[in-house]
Amino acid sequence: MTSTLDAERAKSGLSAREITYVLHKSQSHAEKLERLEALLVADPVFNHEAINYLPRSEQYKRAMQMSGRVEVLARRHGLSEEDHELLRVVFQGMTGCAASTTLHTLMFIKNLTLLFTDEQQAQWMPLAKDWKMVGCYAQTELGHGSNVRGLETTATFVPETDEFEIHSPTLSSIKWWPGALARTANFGIVYARLILHGKDHGVHNFMVQLRDLETHEPRPGCAMGDIGPKIGFHNVDNGFCKFDRVRIPRANMAMRAASVDRRGRFSENDGVPHEILYFTMLQTRLGFVRSTGLGLAKGATIAIRYSAVREQGYDANDGPTSSTELKVLDYQTQQYRLFPLLAAAYAITLTGNGVDAFTTQLSQQMQRGDTRLLNVGHAISCGLKVLTTDIASAGLETCRRVLLGDLVQTVTAEGENYVLAQQTARALLKELAAFRAGRPIPDSMKYIANIDQPVDTVRPRSQQQWLEPATYVSAFQQRFLHQLRALERNVAASASTVAGIQDHS
Amino acid sequence: MTSTLDAERAKSGLSAREITYVLHKSQSHAEKLERLEALLVADPVFNHEAINYLPRSEQYKRAMQMSGRVEVLARRHGLSEEDHELLRVVFQGMTGCAASTTLHTLMFIKNLTLLFTDEQQAQWMPLAKDWKMVGCYAQTELGHGSNVRGLETTATFVPETDEFEIHSPTLSSIKWWPGALARTANFGIVYARLILHGKDHGVHNFMVQLRDLETHEPRPGCAMGDIGPKIGFHNVDNGFCKFDRVRIPRANMAMRAASVDRRGRFSENDGVPHEILYFTMLQTRLGFVRSTGLGLAKGATIAIRYSAVREQGYDANDGPTSSTELKVLDYQTQQYRLFPLLAAAYAITLTGNGVDAFTTQLSQQMQRGDTRLLNVGHAISCGLKVLTTDIASAGLETCRRVLLGDLVQTVTAEGENYVLAQQTARALLKELAAFRAGRPIPDSMKYIANIDQPVDTVRPRSQQQWLEPATYVSAFQQRFLHQLRALERNVAASASTVAGIQDHS
């Protein structure tokens, strides 16, 4: 027997395989992704079916267990660095488990490369790649996020010992939100104000050890914890840290763009664009585009498949005794809601492919100190991030409603809103029919008697008239009667009221 | 010292107290709500601060503990039935904990009143009011929700024993979604097809015992459980039940509108409108309006208070060295997002007050068998439920973004979308300035050279032209240049680019 889904699929003349190659950049790339995915599918650790049943602390542990296994598998199979990173992406896509370790691989290591000197990298990169250092990126504070200039954490040079003292001087200066800070990271790249002999030199980055490398206990002076439950993103330990005069060696300042010497003198380094300070954030945003498209694609696929299988209600054109139910996907209201989302998922993903290619080019230029494309990159990263996440966020909410999931419960409970809107139209046409037939109608609907009257336009002129509620009631009544007239006309041509509403909604 | 919030409040000439009386229907009603709230505030059981830190099963227990205490307090203080119900509403509003017991008080008991005969009510109502029966309302099935006609559960008359046999004949007939079914209820009013001597008489309601009254174990033939984690609504045990030929006495059919006699003959009862079958659902929807307004009011209040306290960024009109930060509420983009939501919260809540008065009138008429207002009530309940929950749902998402909470994480992470949209404009103006100054611009932005050219309108005529990507690229470029020109003009009048974007966004 052909399944309902197979029947739907058979109607398409497009080759799903060919589309896969386009969506995933090329045939060879798509096949590589499949080979990597097969490594994960074969391992029972990546069975994530029950993860939503676990309390948050257990969800975190499961996500860490899975992301740890990704590292083991990459080594066991001798993957190249590029394929290793791809395996991490495939893992996230397959399980939907955002793991805190991506803050290490995508933010911490990237910043280590960009912000620190070759000597500094030689010291820390082997430890970071070997997971002996597990890092986070601590920029956001309780009081400041987007406004980097307002950050308050201080890094004060201590000439006596050749150290910096990292300190949170106020409540609002506490580092707040950084992912992986609460439990995972033992090091953080901390954004702080550089203070030299009492003078503020603006914000710079500092490598700060947060936890003991043996016991994983917070180091003295680091008061750390979890910022608490969120609506989503449960696997990630977004955390806080209050620094109480924590000392680090002077050599722990990120010295690629600017440096401080033994006597506490500040200098900017020629040939290194200061834009590298925010380049990691920019890269992260650029990477959002493609993943946003794929996220919307998942939601749209689930909602469309469900709609092709789920039956509900009858075709009113078949008359009142019909017993063959329609697939939900047969309703044009459902198509109207879902098909544009599928189109958007394609558009965003393919745009993301282009953005990824651009990012590679931009990174290579930046490594050479060439910033010519940076402003365009900034515009692209901001503009496309806003556009695509807004489309996808609203689209996923639509998918959720189509699946009747519970979030804002009253939107879908006691009658889904799209269905109820049609019920409203039906009840109003019933009142109109009662009026036309000369039957009594309730007082609150008496103005329906004006349905065929010429429109008596409301023309408020004086301030008093503008403030008069009756003005607005009259305007709304006219608008309502206008729409009801149009609906009555449209529905009149159909087999029945129900069929008319179905055909015209 | 005057707090920031007090300073904001002092600017308003309105009396908050007077507005409270309007929002909560009258001074005496508002004061009654405050007296009831004081009962809960005084009891540490209602401290719900940590509830979001608990796993789902514990959240359910805490919500049950609280809703149980509401019943104890109502008895201890000898509240009237009306005040008792109000106390339940105040509890939900104060804690935000949707408790499964509301399915008993708002759905089960209401349906008992509407659907069952006086004799049936005499038998069960005392048990229900005494919480010996705890009920749920089992309409929705895995395969059917909105389409009641399609429900598949059967209630087959067994003449030999004068019983009905309740049965789930298919996978899709399993009762699925009813709140309180998974753990809480020991009885359910079950919607099922009435089968008499092989003939299908459509869907009717049946009182079915689901669990043992001593052990609370499921009765033989009732395979029950929880439908699993949801995105929200964690406290409520939405459940499933598969019936395997469960016998109930014939007298357990809801016999107010229609009845079956000892010989299995069906009759409809005169004077009882069959619309009572869905009247509880209609009442529940009508009640959503006011609670939706109050829900949005909570979100808007939190977001506006936060915005009045949170400082971020500088007034660009003060020049680049300004160090006095703006309150987020000082930005017109923030006002543009939040103030309409506050207005909507007032509008929806006050509409809800009117709807509540209408519901009281409608219920009294329905009890007398008078259905004249029912169609209008149906239109109101559907139309306002759709309109208000759509406004509130989108509005609460805006509040969440303003507070930077994590839901669809990429919308707020790595730069909130409203802020980034302004960054995009800024970067694009920078490219334009480079072009005007004769500096080189990247290839991808070369078309900016057409900024002052007369618009060369794209005029696709042939099918080939419509399918040509260049047509669309050209149209988008023209639209973009048009907007960029307007922005450049507007910003030119301001002190700086940043100030211009701030003033014109």
Distance from CA of B76 to the nearest CA of A (A): 33
At residue A173 the predicted structure's pLDDT band, cuts being 50, 70 and 90, is: very high
| B120 occurs within a structural domain | no
Residue B150, pLDDT score: 87
Q: How far apart are CA B423 and CA B159, in angstroms?
A: 77
Token code pair at residue A158: 């201590």
Q: What proportions of chain A, in percent to the nearest 5, are helix, strand and coil? A: 55, 15, 30
What is the average pLDDT value for chain B, to the nearest integer? 88
CB contact under 8 Å between A312 and B144, yes or no, is yes
Same domain, B44 and B171: no
Distance from CA of B160 to the nearest CA of A (A): 32
- DSSP symbol at A217: P
Burial (CB < 10 A; 0-12, 13-18, 19+), residue A58, is middle
Counting residues of chain A whose pLDDT is more than 90, the rounded percentage is 51
When mean pLDDT is compared over A107-111, B407-411, B472-476, the highest value belongs to: A107-111
Residue B198, pLDDT score: 95
- DSSP symbol at A474: H
Phi then psi dihedrals of residue B90, to 5 deg: -60, -40
**What integer is the mean pLDDT of B426-435?**
85
Helix H segments across A234-373? 279-309, 332-367
* Domain stop point among A256, A272, A288: A272
Kindly give, in sequence order, each residue whose CB lies less than 8 Å from that of residue B207, ignoring residues fewer than 6 positions away. B116, B120, B124, B187, B188, B189, B190, B248, B252, B253, B254
Domain that holds residue A58: 15-99
Helix H segments across B403-453? 409-412, 417-436
Strands (E), A45-196: 135-138, 154-158, 163-167, 175-176, 187-196
Same domain, B361 and B426: yes
At residue B407 the predicted structure's pLDDT band, cuts being 50, 70 and 90, is: very low
pTM: 0.82
Question: Is B228 in contact with B294 (CB distance < 8 Å)?
Answer: no
> The CATH number of the domain where B179 resides is what?
2.40.110.10
Q: How far apart are CA A81 and CA A79, in angstroms?
A: 6
Same domain, A28 and A177: no
Q: Which residues of B touch A411 (CB under 8 A)?
A: 389-390, 393
| A107 occurs within a structural domain | no
Kindly give, in sequence order, each residue whose CB lies less than 8 Å from that of residue A477, ignoring residues fewer than 6 positions away. A447, A450
At residue B410 the predicted structure's pLDDT band, cuts being 50, 70 and 90, is: low
Same domain, B268 and B282: no
Least confident of A258-272, B108-122, B407-421: B407-421
Residue B295, pLDDT score: 92
Work out whether strand A135-138 and strand A187-196 pair parallel, antiparallel, or are unpaired. parallel
Work out whether strand A266-268 and strand A258-260 pair parallel, antiparallel, or are unpaired. antiparallel
Size of interface A-B (CB pairs under 8 A): 205
Q: Looking at per-residue confidence, does A446 or A160 come out higher?
A: A160
The residue of chain A with its CA nearest to that of B411 is: A389
* Closest in B52, B238, B382 to A420, CB measured: B382
* Domain stop point among B249, B272, B295: B272
Distance from CA of A389 to the nearest CA of B (A): 5
Same domain, B283 and B267: no
Total number of domains constituting chain B? 4
Using DSSP's 3-state secondary structure scheme, residue B247 falls into strand
Per residue in B318-354, pLDDT tens? 666 677 788 888 888 889 999 999 999 999 999 999 9
Using DSSP's 3-state secondary structure scheme, residue A74 falls into helix
| A208 occurs within a structural domain | yes
Helix H segments across B315-416? 332-367, 374-402, 409-412
Catalytic residue among A31, A414, A416, A431: A414
CB contact under 8 Å between B382 and A415, yes or no, is yes
* Domain stop point among B242, B272, B302: B272
Token code pair at residue B148: 């009641």
Per residue in B210-258, pLDDT tens? 999 999 999 999 999 999 887 777 889 999 999 999 999 999 999 998 9
The letter for the amino acid at B273 is: P
Q: How far apart are CA B385 and CA B289, in angstroms?
A: 6
Residue A215, pLDDT score: 96
HSE-CB at B186 with a 13 A cutoff on CA atoms is 14
CA distances from A389 to A346, A484, B440 (A): 14, 37, 32
CA distances from B369 to B364, B372, B376 (A): 9, 9, 16
Question: Is A140 in contact with A175 (CB distance < 8 Å)?
Answer: yes
Same domain, B239 and B254: yes
Q: Is the pLDDT of residue B181 over 70?
A: yes
- Specify which residues A223 forms β-bridges with: A242
Q: How far apart are CA A298 and CA A300, in angstroms?
A: 6
Same domain, B357 and B425: yes
- C-beta atoms surrounding A234 within 10 Å: 21
Q: How far apart are CA B222 and CA B209, in angstroms?
A: 9
- DSSP symbol at A250: G
Same domain, B322 and B400: yes
- C-beta atoms surrounding A449 within 10 Å: 11
Same domain, B309 and B390: yes
Decide if B49 is catalytic: no
* Closest in B228, B386, B393 to A53, CB measured: B228
Q: How far apart are CA B257 and CA B267, in angstroms?
A: 9
Residue B49, pLDDT score: 84
Q: Which residues of B touch A280 (CB under 8 A)?
A: none
Q: Which residues of B touch A56 (CB under 8 A)?
A: 53, 55
Length of chain B: 505
| Count of helices and strands (H, E) across chain A | 16, 13
Q: Which residues of B touch A287 (CB under 8 A)?
A: none
The letter for the amino acid at B174 is: I
Residue B408, pLDDT score: 44
Question: Is B448 in contact with B430 (CB distance < 8 Å)?
Answer: no
Same domain, B305 and B256: no
